[in-house]
Amino acid sequence: MTRFRRSALAFALLAAVAVPGAIAAPASAVAAEAPATRVATLSMSGQGSASAAPDQATVTSGVASEGKTAREALDANSKAMSALIDAFKKAGIQSADLQTSGFSVQPRYAQPKEGSSEAPHIDGYQVNNQVTVRVRDLTKLGALLDTAVSTGSNQINGVGFDLADPAPVLDKAREAAVADARRKAELTAKAAGVKLGRILTIAEPGADTGPRPMMAAYAMDKRGGAPIEAGETEFQAQVVVTWEIGE
């Protein structure tokens, strides 16, 4: 056998061995990519809430001052606001709990008399300055409001109550939400004649972590000051739980 014939025979043997492997490889890849059997699932949302008495409050208080000129109105306002902030600090409010939350200078217009052809014209200015105060001792809240008004505040735009650490109350709301989802899922599964299996996913979409005021008998500052009812602060949570189900 010549050298050329020996080389041709060796090449033919290699080709015979390699071809089956080349054909088998795509089959293995197809088998690996075959979709797994789909699992039947049941998803259910749950809502929960928990509440607690608030332990702090925020108050927005300020002064509106008027003057013939913007400078005159600003000077009067600055003097009144300085006195108001000093009063808050003397009442025990720390600088870290005081924050300017609004300031504006606006013209004041005089309307023409009825039947007059004159256009409205500026006859003065008004300056508004507001400060938001965080009150960490609620027993002082009523007296603090009295102090603000007595010192010259002519704007108090509401009182808000919340918790310094809302996490424990939020955790209770989440537990209640999961329990609500399970209750509804078990009811639905029973009605459908199936059984709940293991939990596949738990999500918390659109969780409402903000406090909601609730009316409750929690009066404060019985020793005097403006009458204030803190009520309770409610937190809500929502979850969506997905279970595997079987017959």
CATH number at residue 173: 3.30.110.170
| Residue 186 within a domain | yes
CA dist., res. 228 & res. 222, Å (int):
9
Quick one: three-class SS letters along the chain? CCHHHHHHHHHHHHHHHHHHHHHHHHHHHHHHCCCCCCCCEEEEEEEEEEEECCCEEEEEEEEEEEECCHHHHHHHHHHHHHHHHHHHHHCCCCHHHEEEEEEEEEEEEECCCCCCCCCCEEEEEEEEEEEEEEECCHHHHHHHHHHHHHHCCCEEEEEEEECCCCHHHHHHHHHHHHHHHHHHHHHHHHHHCCEEEEEEEEECCCCCCCCEEECCCCEECCCCCCCEECCEEEEEEEEEEEEEEEC
77 and 150 in a single domain? The answer is yes
| Residue 142 within a domain | yes
In this prediction, residue 247 carries a pLDDT of 75
pLDDT mean across residues, the chain: 82
End of a domain among 162, 182, 214? 162
Lowest mean pLDDT among 10-24, 149-163, 224-238: 10-24
Nearest to 161 by CA among 88, 233, 98, 236: 233
* pLDDT at residue 220 greater than cutoff 50: no
The pLDDT of 43-65, averaged and rounded, is 96
| Residue 15 within a domain | no
Question: 112 vs 91, which has greater pLDDT?
Answer: 91
| Residue 3 within a domain | no
Question: 225 vs 46, which has greater pLDDT?
Answer: 46
The domain of 133 spans 56-162
The pLDDT of 156-172, averaged and rounded, is 93
In this prediction, residue 89 carries a pLDDT of 96
The pLDDT of 190-219, averaged and rounded, is 71
Q: What percent of the chain has pLDDT over 90?
A: 66
Question: 210 vs 20, which has greater pLDDT?
Answer: 210
CATH number at residue 157: 3.30.70.2970
End of a domain among 162, 195, 211? 162
| Residue 9 within a domain | no
The pLDDT of 70-95, averaged and rounded, is 96
150 and 179 in a single domain? The answer is no
The pLDDT of 17-29, averaged and rounded, is 44
* pLDDT at residue 4 greater than cutoff 80: no
Structure tokens at 134: 């965080």
* pLDDT at residue 153 greater than cutoff 80: yes
Answer for the pair 238, 175: CB distance below 8 angstroms, yes or no.
no
Instruction: Please provide the distance, in angstroms rounded to a whole number, between the alpha carbons at the two ends of the chain.
Output: 72
96 and 158 in a single domain? The answer is yes
Question: 164 vs 113, which has greater pLDDT?
Answer: 164
In this prediction, residue 31 carries a pLDDT of 45
The pLDDT of 209-237, averaged and rounded, is 62
Lowest mean pLDDT among 12-26, 85-99, 128-142, 165-179: 12-26
| Residue 17 within a domain | no
134 and 172 in a single domain? The answer is no
113 and 175 in a single domain? The answer is no
Answer for the pair 53, 230: CB distance below 8 angstroms, yes or no.
yes
221 and 124 in a single domain? The answer is no
69 and 140 in a single domain? The answer is yes
In this prediction, residue 110 carries a pLDDT of 87
* pLDDT at residue 166 greater than cutoff 90: yes
190 and 107 in a single domain? The answer is no
Beta bridge partners of 98: 133
CA dist., res. 154 & res. 156, Å (int):
7
| Residue 180 within a domain | yes
| Residue 202 within a domain | yes
Tell me the CA distances in angstroms from 91 to 143, 175, 228, one per residue in order.
Answer: 9, 40, 17
End of a domain among 162, 180, 205? 162
Q: How many domains does the chain have?
A: 2
The pLDDT of 156-167, averaged and rounded, is 92
177 and 215 in a single domain? The answer is yes
The pLDDT of 54-65, averaged and rounded, is 95
The pLDDT of 234-239, averaged and rounded, is 94
What phi and psi values does residue 134 have, to the nearest 5 degrees? -95, 125
Question: 6 vs 200, which has greater pLDDT?
Answer: 200
